[in-house]
Structure 1
Amino acid sequence: MATVLVTGATGNVGSKVATELRARGISVRAFVRDPDRAAAVLGGRIEMAHGDFAEPASVRRALDGVERMFLLCANDPRQVEYGTNAIDAAAAAGVRQVVMLSTIGAGAGSSTVFFDQHGRIEEHLRGSGIPAVVLRSSHMMSNILASATTIRQAGRFFLPAGDARIAMVDPHDVAAAAAAALLTSGHDGRTHVLTGPEAITYAEVARLLSSALGRPIEYVDVPDDAAVTGMAQAGLPQWLAEQVVAVFEALRGGENASTTSSVRELTGREPRGFEEFAHWAAPLLVGE
């Protein structure tokens, strides 16, 4: 197989996709804004393409000689523009397949901005003429890492999740599924919904973290307004804080409550549960 372009390559999922592909002997080109940071995250064995979704010419350069693309656009007010421009550039470059990371709940016209953005990009991809696979990920287990400071300092984390049951997925499993979609046939035109093995609450997350860390960890449910304020005070842009809380509202409504067999079907193994993820994440949560 020729080179795979991995976008979002320094992020939580993209970096793991790049690593998965390299481990299988695939030539990977990482589309990155900061090559030095990317080298620190990915190591020196992956080709870097310096660019930015906001600069279409850099996307076109990065696609030169690329056969397949993993498309991951971070949440941004211009996310739809960035995603559709990247798809258009891939079509013009003759890319043979795009595997896009989307989200459960995606749908153009959704009142939840993140879901609307992903849905509009999905629609554009389906109309592009490029053979494509859409991976709709559930709520990531790794989202708990955003609460690392309060977990470390106070043994508590604060979220507006209520008692929602969420089929959280390990980002390692999402990356493995993406690599499988890129490397094996029969997936083009399909949408795979990726979840963990069970739907759990954040109270159960706290219990599993307590066991992994060897000390009590408490989940504190907070009202939406307080959550927006807290996230903004922690440095999140106001628009982003508001939309993260909107996603939690959807979670409380059951948006991510169902499990699927897609991880097993794509990777050949069962998805990891939160207990295993908690032990992997423990060093990150205690600052080691």
Structure 2
Amino acid sequence: MGKTLIFGATGNLGGLTAALLHESAPDALRVSTSREAGLSRLAKRFPQAEAVVCDWNVEESVVAALDGVSRLLVVPPDMVTDENVVTPNIINAARKAGTVEQVVRMLGMPPGFTLDQAPPAYVRTRCGAGLHVVAKHHLDASGLPVTYVNVPAWIMFNLALFVASDVKPRRRISMPADTDSARMWVSERDIAAAFARVLSDPVPDHIGRELLLTSPERHSYADVAALFSDVLGETVPYVDHDRALRASMGEAFDTMRTYLRCERGTYDDVPHDPAITELLGRPQETLRDYITEHQGTFR
């Protein structure tokens, strides 16, 4: 069997997944970064793995990174990924490599959602479903052995990104009301553990599958505020305000707000699926668990 390649291993989900695979099979792991400066970080964190630079916007760079690779994980960052360039490059490079047995691709979209259904403004944000719906369109037509790991939920690290700057100094959750929705939440550690499981299981076990990682609970912004109040032992109200979102997103604020408005309600009919606990072999992390463990970030 060839190497397992983790694209963007300096990122959050890629790095967590690589760490799990590095524990179990470090010699079979190849980790990539898009910048030379990232190589030293990868070498320090994954000393027994092979670290490479790969610019997936350049097909020849992807071809070189896939040399001898049998499995790969693709988790694209929001806003900066052009799936009409990146995904065709990966598809073409995988065909040229001739060794790829499994492409594991993260999605974050309602099952069955298609490019034709996505409003143009949604797609232009290059976020969430607006990003992944384009990639899936290409991958479905590619004939490659693909496993989709679909997370139609918010990842829990978004708490630190979106709300920490107001919870910590002002003891409030502030997000624009026109972006509110009763969302599922899944932790980054559970997602990484699911990726690692899929990449470690026999290849035929998951080819052609779309694994849904969901949660049995949903939380509006007011629900999240109530959890913070309970865990911190102080009243943390929800207020309709864009201060925290502006602070976290900077120049990308308008893009993110457009995405969140388009996303609102899109996921309301997605049912909970037990796939995550079946993959993990344990209960999944709840939003209360996460806030409790990371409360130092918000105090």
Deviation at 1:5, TM superposition (A): 0.6
The corresponding residue for 1:100 is: 105
Query: How do 1:277-288 residues align onto structure 2 when only pairs under 5 Å count?
Result: 277-286=290-299
Inter-CA distance 283–39: structure 2 relative to 1 (3 Å threshold): farther
- Which residue of structure 2 lines up, in the alignment, with residue 68 of structure 1? 71
- Partner of 2:222 in structure 1? 203
- Work out whether residues 10 and 41 of structure 1, in 8 Å CA contact, stay in contact via their aligned partners in 2: no
**Alignment equivalent of 1:264, drawn from 252, 273, 277:** 277
CA contact (8 A) 1:160 1:245 kept: no
Match of 2:168 among 144, 147, 152: 152
**Root mean square deviation, CA, Å:** 2.7
- What residue in structure 2 maps to residue 190 of structure 1? 209
Using the size of structure 1 for normalisation, the TM-score is 0.85
- Name the structure 2 match of 1:133: 147
Q: Which residue of 2 aligns with 1:59?
A: 62
Q: Contact between 1:165 and 1:257, CA under 8 Å: does it hold in 2?
A: no
> Could you list the per-position Cα deviations for residues 254-273 of structure 1 after superposition, in whole angstroms to 9, with x for gaps in the alignment?
43763211102222222211
Show the counterpart of 1:35: 38
In 2, Cα distance between equivalents of 1:28 and 1:216: 46
Q: Which range moves more in the overlay, 269-278 or 148-157?
A: 148-157
How far apart are residue 134 of structure 1 and its match?
0.6
Amino acid across the alignment from 2:148: V
Q: Is the 8 A contact 1:199 1:259 kept in 2?
A: no
Structure 2: gaps of 5 or more residues: none
Aligned-residue offset at 1:98:
0.3
- Paired residue secondary structure (2:103): strand
CA contact (8 A) 1:193 1:262 kept: yes
Cα distance in structure 2, aligned partners of 1:16 and 1:68:
17
Matched, 1:88 2:103: no
**SS class of match (1:127):** helix
- What are the ranges of 5 or more consecutive residues in structure 1 without an aligned counterpart? none
Distance 2:90 2:130 in 1: 18
More divergent stretch after superposition (194-203 vs 229-238): 229-238
Matched to 2:146, the amino acid is A
Report the equivalent of 1:237: 252
TM-score (norm 2): 0.82
1:107–1:116 Cα contact (<8 Å) kept: no
**CA 257–10 in structure 1, closer or farther in 2 if over 3 Å, else same:** same
Q: Distance in 1 between matches of 2:288 and 2:159?
A: 13
* Structure 1 pair 163–102 and aligned structure 2 pair: CA distance change class (3 A): closer
Q: What fraction of aligned residue pairs are identical, expressed as a percent?
A: 28
1:77 Cα deviation after fit: 5.6
- Greater mean alpha carbon deviation, residues 36-45 or residues 114-123: 36-45
Number of residue pairs aligned between Structure 1 and Structure 2: 280
SS at match of 1:150: helix
